[in-house]
């Protein structure tokens, strides 16, 4: 890993961010967000407590923890040089459009506030729908002004009180203003993105990133297209992750959860955002689309990796979805990323 650290520094990478996926964040059901609308002081301890409990239960199974980030940072450290920071981006982890949109806004805001990353390259790893948070970031940074205007208009009920000037989430109008002034879009070319087990969903804006790489746990089915996932013929296939990552295969458009009943403003924004991000995808076609077994993204480099059959029960390997964030695979992932992104450095 020391060689990885030297390569990253030679490539002028100033910071690394880890973005977790759905259900392992600080507010998976949006409850604490509604509490924060009344009192942020009351909501923050609850968010921290939920994240700590989830980290204690999940550890590094489909989850980025403080311990994982620390291990990563220490592994790429070079004696006598300033540490290359590895930061966690915690978002709500809600499994719907507006939850991921909020994660994208929070990531952009974090990058704005990160002085270490303001001039050099930034490397971001996103697991599961954390990768789709990154996809939205590329569309916000690299898309045209009309698309951004539609995005914020669709989300208006989420971060503003309808008909009033009150703003509940100040990072939203701040990021919106900077995007409108093109103040941060120039950073997109220095943004290097890696996804792990990210379902094919939103699509990527080419002008919104520098490098893009996808790791996908896939075990080819004998006699079939080696890049296509088989729709499971029995429950046992899923329980044993027989042919790879079933969460990546199943998490496509149409599999969102609805925002909770107490989050009517989020629900309204989610419906509007769905019309913008995924128009013309009727729910009745979900099974047909699932059977297509789509693994690969239209942009970036797709690496179909056979991580082997997992050990333990499905709650431990998450139907093949937990492997990417295991510490055991950190060296392989880091070396592969630097080889493909920065092989010509120095």
List 16's β-bridge partners, or say none. Answer: 86, 123
Determine the pLDDT at residue 264: 93
pLDDT single digits (tens) 128-146: 999 999 999 999 999 999 9
Q: What are phi and psi of 205, to 5 degrees?
A: -95, 115
> E strand or H helix at 41, and its extent?
helix 40-58
In the prediction, which pLDDT does 346 show? 53
Rounded Cα distance between 189 and 75, Å, is 27
Chunked into runs of 10 residues, the chain (346 residues) has average pLDDT values of: 95 97 95 91 92 93 96 95 95 97 97 85 98 98 94 96 83 93 83 98 96 97 92 95 97 93 94 94 91 96 97 96 97 98 81
- Please, are residues 307 and 225 in contact by the beta-carbon 8 Å criterion? no
Nearest partner of 73 among 334, 343, 345, 337, judged by Cα: 334
Q: Report how far Cα 74 is from the mean position of its chain's Cα atoms.
A: 23
Q: Are 296 and 223 in contact (CB under 8 A)?
A: no
Which residues partner with 324 through β-bridges?
none
Start-to-end CA distance of the chain, whole Å, equals 17
From 133, 267, 266, 117, select the one nearest 184 (Cα to Cα): 117
* Alpha-carbon gap, residue 36 to 234, rounded angstroms: 44
Question: Quick one: pLDDT at residue 166?
Answer: 82
What count of Cα atoms within 13 Å lies in the side-chain half-sphere of residue 120?
17
Quote the CA–CA distance of 117 and 110 in Å, as a whole number: 10
Phi, psi of 35 (to 5 degrees): -65, -40
Q: What phi and psi, each to the nearest 5 degrees, are found at residue 118?
A: -70, -25
Q: Are 325 and 131 in contact (CB under 8 A)?
A: no
Q: What is the CA radius of gyration of the chain?
A: 20
The tokens describing 209, both together, are 């990133």
């Amino acid at each position: 890993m020391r060689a990885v650290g030297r390569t990253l520094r030679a490539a002028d990478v100033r910071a690394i961010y880890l973005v977790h996926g759905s259900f392992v964040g600080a507010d998976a059901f949006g409850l604490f967000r509604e509490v924060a609308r009344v009192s942020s002081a009351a909501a923050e301890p609850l968010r921290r407590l939920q994240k700590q409990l989830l980290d204690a239960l999940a550890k590094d199974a489909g989850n980025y923890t403080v311990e994982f980030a620390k291990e990563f940072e220490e592994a790429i450290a070079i004696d006598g040089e300033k540490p290359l920071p590895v930061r966690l981006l915690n978002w709500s982890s809600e499994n719907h459009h507006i939850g991921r949109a909020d994660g994208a806004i929070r990531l952009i805001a974090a990058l704005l506030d990160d002085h270490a990353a303001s001039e050099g390259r930034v490397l971001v790893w996103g697991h599961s729908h954390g990768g789709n948070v990154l996809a939205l970031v590329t569309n916000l940074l690299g898309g045209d002004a009309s698309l951004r205007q539609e995005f914020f208009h669709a989300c208006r009920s989420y971060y503003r009180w309808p008909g009033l000037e009150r703003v509940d989430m100040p990072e939203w109008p701040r990021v919106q203003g900077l995007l409108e002034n093109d103040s941060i879009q120039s950073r997109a070319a220095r943004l290097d993105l890696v996804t792990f087990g990210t379902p094919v969903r939103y699509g990527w804006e080419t002008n919104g990133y520098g490098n893009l790489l996808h790791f996908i746990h896939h075990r080819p089915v004998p006699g079939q297209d080696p890049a296509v996932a088989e729709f499971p013929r029995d429950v046992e296939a899923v329980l044993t992750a027989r042919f790879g990552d079933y969460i990546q295969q199943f998490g496509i458009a149409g599999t969102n959860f609805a925002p909770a009943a107490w989050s009517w403003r989020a629900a309204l924004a989610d419906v509007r955002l769905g019309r913008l991000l995924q128009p013309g995808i009727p729910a009745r076609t979900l099974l047909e689309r699932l059977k297509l077994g789509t693994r690969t993204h239209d942009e970036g480099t797709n690496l179909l990796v056979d991580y082997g059959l997992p050990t333990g029960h499905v709650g431990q390997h998450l139907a093949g979805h937990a492997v990417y964030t295991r510490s055991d695979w950190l060296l392989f992932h880091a070396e592969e990323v630097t080889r493909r992104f920065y092989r010509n450095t120095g």
